[in-house]
Amino acid sequence: MLPANRIRRRRVVDSKTVMSTISPVLEHHEHDHARCASDALGHAEEICEREGLRFTTQRRQVLEALLQSHVPASAYEVIDRLGESGRRPAPISVYRALDFLVANNFAHRIESKNAYVACDRGADCEPGATLFLICDNCGAAAEAASEALGQLVNAETERRGFLPRQRVLEIRGLCARCRKP
């Protein structure tokens, strides 16, 4: 696993751009948010085209609204963001778009906040377990994959005969920036 202070970088593998598994969101330095958002949107477009998924205008707009910030947003905050540039969409249409984004790993639901955050890990958002590091001060949420945590969860749930629906762990605390005096 990469060190926690490693900056998120794009790398090229077999002529394809791949998003890294480490997000510098909680470090708050050298983070090019415009590039981060563009990468995540491009990843969603690529996956939808490859998998034959309909990336409708509504779904794109909801993802773009989530990509405005790494701070999780409730469905109604997404509606407010969309309403700033025109007509406010109906809540049901936003919830349907969020369901699509979550089902396809373009966004994640932060259960403890009843909010959503866009996925910034692209193709790296795969099986195992996902950790969300949530800053109590600034509200930023960073996603990190953990194969080791996934193995632990699998072993413990198998041992107990339990079939997990989601393998997500939310850890709350202070990010590097907010810990600085």
pLDDT of 56: 95
- Closest Cα to residue 7, out of 17, 16, 21? 21
- 158 domain residue, yes or no: yes
Structural domain of 104: 31-120
Supply the CATH number for residue 55's domain.
1.10.10.10
- 112 domain residue, yes or no: yes
Residue 168: strand pairing partners: 130
Query: Angle, nearest 10°, between helix axes 91-103 and 75-83?
Result: 120
- Closest Cα to residue 22, out of 106, 120, 111? 120
Q: Are 66 and 72 in contact (CB under 8 A)?
A: no
Are residues 112 and 64 part of one domain? Answer: yes
Last residue of a domain, one of 84, 104, 120: 120
Q: Are 63 and 118 in contact (CB under 8 A)?
A: yes
Q: How far apart are CA 144 and CA 74, in angstroms?
A: 21
- 25 domain residue, yes or no: no
**Rounded mean pLDDT for each run of 10 residues along the chain, 181 residues in total:** 31 33 49 78 91 94 93 95 91 97 90 88 63 88 81 90 84 88 75
Predicted TM-score (pTM) of the model is 0.74
Q: How far apart are CA 124 and CA 145, in angstroms?
A: 8
Are residues 166 and 102 part of one domain? Answer: no
Are residues 85 and 139 part of one domain? Answer: no
At CB < 8 A and 24+ separation, what contacts does 146-152 make?
146/1, 148/1
How far is it between the farthest Cα atoms of the chain?
Answer: 52
Q: How far apart are CA 158 and CA 163, in angstroms?
A: 7
Instruction: Give me the residue label for tokens 């998924």.
Output: 53
CA–CA distances in Å: residue 145 to residues 106, 126, 156: 15, 8, 18
Q: Environment class of residue 35 by beta-carbon count within 10 Å: exposed (0-12), middle (13-18) or buried (19+)?
A: exposed
- Closest Cα to residue 22, out of 140, 131, 116, 128? 131
pLDDT of 35: 81
What total of structural domains would you count in the chain? 2
Last residue of a domain, one of 75, 99, 120: 120
